[in-house]
Homo-oligomer: A and B are copies of this chain.
Amino acid sequence: MARVLEIRKNVLAKNDEIARENREFFRSRGLTALNFVSSPGAGKTSLLVRTINDMKTGVKFAVIEGDQQTDNDAKKIEQTGAPVIQINTVSSCHLDADMVKKSLGSLDMDGAKYLFIENVGNLVCPASYDLGEMMKVAVMSVTEGEDKPVKYPKMFRVSSALVITKTDLLPYLDFDVKMAVDYALKVNPAIRVFKVSVKNGDGLADWYKFLLTLSDAAGR
């Protein structure tokens, strides 16, 4: 086991080195790079599509899509008009900094203010891999259990924001929003929480305001 662990440590050290280069690259361009993490089906792609459509007047976005297979998500993003590149990780359960670095060359980021990186849907692996992002944004839907933050504490600890999605479904569920928020704050007292419905638009204004403050900070 020790040998496996040592190699794993080296893999992570190498990843962190490339992540630092990515971060420097993003910073030099005043780009707000966000790494979206969640379980599969939490609604990351829908959140990104609506966010881009609602904010795109005068603001440019670029998107990196990570999936084990298919370019379905990239196709959805394409319809917003934002430049997008799809990474298929095939056997890997997460994006890594090198995949992101390699894809940057093929992505039109001219004048872009935001780079949205949608990670593979997975609440374990992506927590360990820095991609060079400004922050990780965890996405969790009200159709999941309230206790996801305590069941996958590392993911919610390394995320700076949490977007709780699909709130339009709350009338049909027993989901306790306060309990979910309390669990998230328990593992990460500093996490910023947003409750949104991409379908009816509830709560999106606060989320967009938050994105604007991030971009102001990145542009300085």
Contacts and interface: CB of A to CB of B under 8 A. Distances in A.
A77 to B, nearest CB: 14
Contacts of A59: none
Nearest to A90: B154
Contacts of A91: 154
Nearest to A165: B143
A9 B140 CA distance: 34
Q: Is the interface of A mostly helix, strand, loop or mixed?
A: loop
Given A39-B39, A123-B40, A124-B122, A70 B172 contact: no
Number of copies: 2
Contacts of A70: 147, 150-151
Interface in A140-193: 140-141, 143-145, 147-148, 150-154, 166, 168-169, 172-173
In this complex, the interface size class of chain A, counting residues with CB under 8 Å from chain B, is 35 or more
A151 B40 contact: yes
Contact of A143 (B45, B69, B122, B169): B169
Contacts of A122: 93, 122-124
A168 B123 CA distance: 26
A163 to B, nearest CB: 15
Nearest to A93: B124
B125 A69 contact: no
A72 B169 contact: no
A11 interface: yes
A167 B151 CA distance: 25
A126 to B, nearest CB: 10
Of A40, A122, A143, most B-chain CB atoms within 10 Å: A40
Contacts of A40: 39, 123, 144-145, 148, 151-152
9 contacts: A3-B7, A41-B145, A67-B151, A68-B124, A68-B151, A72-B150, A93-B125, A121-B151, A169-B172
Given A70-B151, A72-B151, 7 more contacts: A39-B41, A41-B41, A41-B42, A45-B145, A68-B153, A122-B123, A169-B173
